[in-house]
């Protein structure tokens, strides 16, 4: 009997303010540009497999930012599916033959939840995975809420967890089912006629009733998204609308709740979510077959620069974990040791890092010298470089310099690290390339489903998990995953999903509990992946423009040691590929007759100017550029931020302009009220200036 799996193993949807949507990128970004061909990494148009969107597709007719949907497919594997790569696989759609039976329909079930407000803090002395070692956990968010510091307390679970419950649909009916408070929960059993309704499922939408003094930026959350299908039976999952909601100590909506932190804001909810995706095939003879290779969907922040890649992607972190700890590829790594004989493929394993570094010049305020150097990185080939390339690469785990430069990547590091490092697998690939091992190396062919697994995570942020944008440090914990991946019905990269028994659901008790805790063996429940992210996500996005290193090699910033020259006062970027800092706008380029104009801050407009006010003493205004000075500003304006796209994808792009420009389009900020973008390096004590043409 053939094996069945849903792909991608982990899918990514993104919130938006519009009812409309486009599909997330399903290709690997960063391949060489040929003529005016658009590189991979762009989202694609609904109902297509490869038609990339243009700038005209970003917003709906009213100007609202469209949501990015996640698409799931089912693949049929043969006998070789116990290895990775498993090789060729055939997509299963309505009308396909599976073991001699015709597929008449596909029944899908998805369960979305958000547990952020009942999770542990992300910032503190023990950030990241270290906070969970030796049986410890960090401090709890919303301490003392409902009179309890036990995350398993039933009242905390009711008032701090958003649980829409499961939803089910039959692909052939082409309906849209919403994860909202007005829709009855449902799931598929074994009968093909109709899903089983769960009228007594304890759906939970805390603080969803309007109340308290009105304040813009706090909105009741009554939905976590929706799902629908394509005509061939593929599943489409949409996230929600990018809302945040303040609440009081009784769990009632309180729009005036304090918003004092970048990552851990007590008394706040947001409408990101995650949960399992399962399926059942319905055959023409009335019989059914469940698909055991279940998947997971995560709904997270918008992608404002979908084509400019991260030096360390989410795929790099997941792949490194699987290679080093779960024996994914013994020809590469066996017993935790990399094989010196391994030959990386330049296009698959090395070039994406070079392309990612090269593209940073479109998202950051590099100097002209830096721009030229980054552009030249893109020209290297599988032939080893003639200079000492590795002398410019920061070694994972090595002591980090106080200056950061000239070591790459030139951006801020993970929890406990001042500067970003490549994953150990990436670093090994570079070493092998420099040693000449890439010349003539073959590709490792991935099946269509396996290529989707990689492409989805490749287009997401890795490396700097503090906590990040899409997923965070938990992707390095083997307990997050099913470790019986050699089973042909399972495969790698699958979340260790808890078997949810919906027959026990009752209104009297919350259905979801604490669920997954890092470095423990408890299986994963809906809401367990996004709960380790910032709450609300908006404030972290706002903050992560430029910062001095933290931890700072010379000690914490203060007025005395900054002006005394002890600490590193240089400003570095947090997530430049995912969270653009300084951009060239298409509007400015056109006005400048195709010549690159001065840059603007991606996040700009009223409320973003960083200025030293009289009587404030040490304020280091340059440290606060490119963000709202009052965090509430991002709650109101996140959907006005423009999107970076390659020139040929921009409506009205002059074909005489270079095809490899990446420019901001679709910004709704009416004017630039922020600060003048100055070339790097910048220091926290630098003066700030208004834009010359603001």
54-78 pLDDT, tens digit each: 999 999 999 999 999 999 999 999 8
**Residue 34 clears pLDDT 60, i.e. is over it:** no
φ, ψ for residue 516, nearest 5 deg: -70, 135
Closest CA to 248 of 215, 203, 207, 209: 207
Region 521-534 average pLDDT: 98
Q: Do the Cβ atoms of 4 and 75 come closer than 8 Å?
A: yes
Q: How large a percentage of the chain has pLDDT more than 70?
A: 96
From CA 587, how far away is CA 591, in angstroms rounded?
6
From CA 70, how far away is CA 303, in angstroms rounded?
13
From CA 554, how far away is CA 674, in angstroms rounded?
30
Q: Do the Cβ atoms of 87 and 252 come closer than 8 Å?
A: no
Query: Where does the pLDDT of residue 30 fall: very low under 50, low under 70, confident under 90, or very high at 90 and above?
Result: low
Structure confidence by residue, pLDDT tens digits, 256-289: 899 999 999 999 999 999 999 999 999 999 999 9
Structure confidence by residue, pLDDT tens digits, 110-123: 999 999 999 999 99
From CA 350, how far away is CA 343, in angstroms rounded?
11
Q: Do the Cβ atoms of 130 and 416 come closer than 8 Å?
A: yes
Structure confidence by residue, pLDDT tens digits, 506-522: 999 999 999 999 999 99
Region 596-607 average pLDDT: 96
Sort strands 600-601 and 196-198 into parallel, antiparallel or unpaired.
unpaired
Structure confidence by residue, pLDDT tens digits, 604-630: 999 999 976 555 556 668 889 999 999
Region 295-306 average pLDDT: 97
Query: Where does the pLDDT of residue 33 fall: very low under 50, low under 70, confident under 90, or very high at 90 and above?
Result: very low
* pLDDT for residue 35: 45
Burial label for 593, CB within 10 Å (0-12, 13-18, 19+), is exposed
Q: Do the Cβ atoms of 51 and 338 come closer than 8 Å?
A: no
> pTM to 2 decimals?
0.97
* pLDDT for residue 88: 85
What are the Cα distances from residue 590, in Å, to 164, 371, 394, 527, 650?
46, 21, 39, 45, 12
* Total Cβ atoms within 10 A of residue 494: 24
């Amino acid at each position: 009997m053939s094996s069945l799996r849903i792909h991608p193993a982990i899918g990514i949807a993104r919130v938006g303010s519009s009812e409309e949507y486009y599909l997330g990128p399903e290709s690997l970004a960063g391949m060489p540009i040929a003529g005016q061909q658009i590189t991979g990494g762009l989202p694609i148009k609904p109902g297509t497999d490869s038609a990339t969107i243009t700038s005209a597709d970003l917003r709906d007719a009213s100007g609202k930012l469209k949501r990015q949907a996640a698409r799931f497919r089912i693949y049929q594997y043969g006998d070789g599916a116990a290895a990775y790569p498993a090789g060729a696989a055939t997509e299963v759609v309505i009308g396909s033959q599976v073991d001699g039976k015709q597929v008449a329909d596909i029944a899908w079930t998805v369960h979305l939840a958000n547990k952020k407000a009942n999770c542990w803090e992300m910032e503190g002395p023990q950030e990241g995975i270290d906070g969970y070692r030796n049986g410890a956990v960090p401090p709890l968010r919303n301490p003392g809420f409902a009179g309890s510091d036990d995350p398993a307390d039933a009242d905390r679970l009711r008032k701090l967890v958003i649980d829409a419950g499961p939803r089910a649909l039959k692909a052939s009916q082409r309906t849209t089912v919403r994860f909202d408070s007005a829709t009855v929960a449902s799931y598929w059993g074994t009968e093909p006629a109709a899903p089983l309704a769960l009228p007594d499922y304890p759906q939970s939408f805390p603080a969803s009733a309007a109340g308290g003094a009105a304040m813009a930026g706090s909105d009741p959350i009554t939905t976590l998204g929706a799902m629908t299908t394509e005509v061939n039976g593929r599943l489409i999952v949409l996230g929600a609308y990018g809302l945040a909601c303040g609440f009081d100590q009784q769990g009632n909506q309180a729009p005036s709740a304090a918003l004092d932190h970048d990552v851990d804001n007590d008394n706040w909810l947001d409408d990101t979510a995650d949960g399992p995706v399962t399926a059942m095939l319905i055959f023409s003879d009335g019989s059914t077959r469940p698909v055991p290779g279940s998947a997971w969907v995560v709904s997270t922040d918008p992608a404002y620069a979908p084509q400019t890649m991260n030096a360390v992607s989410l795929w790099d972190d997941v792949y490194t974990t699987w290679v080093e700890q779960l024996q994914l590829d013994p020809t590469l790594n066996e017993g935790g040791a990399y094989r010196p004989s391994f030959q990386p493929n330049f296009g698959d394993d090395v070039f994406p890092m070079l392309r990612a570094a090269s593209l940073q010049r479109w998202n950051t305020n590099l100097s002209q010298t830096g721009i030229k150097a980054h552009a030249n990185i893109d020209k290297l080939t599988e032939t080893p470089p003639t200079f000492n390339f590795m002398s410019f690469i920061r070694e994972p785990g090595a002591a980090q310099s106080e200056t950061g430069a000239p070591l790459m990547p030139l951006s801020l590091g993970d929890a406990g690290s001042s500067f970003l490092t490549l994953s150990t697998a990436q670093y090994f690939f570079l070493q092998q390339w420099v040693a000449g091992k890439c010349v003539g190396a073959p590709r490792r062919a991935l099946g269509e489903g396996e290529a989707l697994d990689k492409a989805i995570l490749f287009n997401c942020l890795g490396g700097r998990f503090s906590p990040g944008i899409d997923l965070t440090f938990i992707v390095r914990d083997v307990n997050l995953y099913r470790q019986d991946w050699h089973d042909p019905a399972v495969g790698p990269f699958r979340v260790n999903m808890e078997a949810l028994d919906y027959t026990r659901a009752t209104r009297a008790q919350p259905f979801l509990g604490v669920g997954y805790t890092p470095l423990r063996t408890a299986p994963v429940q809906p809401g367990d992946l996004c709960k380790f992210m910032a709450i609300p996500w908006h404030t972290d996005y706002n903050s992560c423009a430029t910062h001095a290193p933290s931890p700072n090699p010379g000690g914490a910033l203060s007025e005395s040691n900054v002006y005394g020259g002890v600490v590193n006062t240089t400003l570095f970027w947090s997530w430049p590929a995912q969270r653009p800092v300084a951009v060239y706008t298409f509007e400015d380029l056109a006005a400048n007759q195709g010549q690159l104009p001065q840059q603007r801050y991606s996040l700009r407009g009223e409320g973003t100017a960083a200025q030293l006010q009289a009587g404030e003493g040490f304020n280091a205004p340059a440290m606060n550029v490119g963000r709202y000075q009052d965090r509430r500003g991002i709650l109101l304006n996140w959907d006005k931020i423009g999107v970076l796209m390659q020139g040929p994808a921009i409506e009205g792009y002059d074909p005489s302009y270079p095809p490899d420009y990446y420019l901001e389009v679709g910004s709704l900020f009416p004017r630039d009220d922020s600060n003048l973008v100055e070339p790097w390096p910048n220091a926290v004590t630098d003066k700030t200036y208004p834009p010359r043409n603001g």
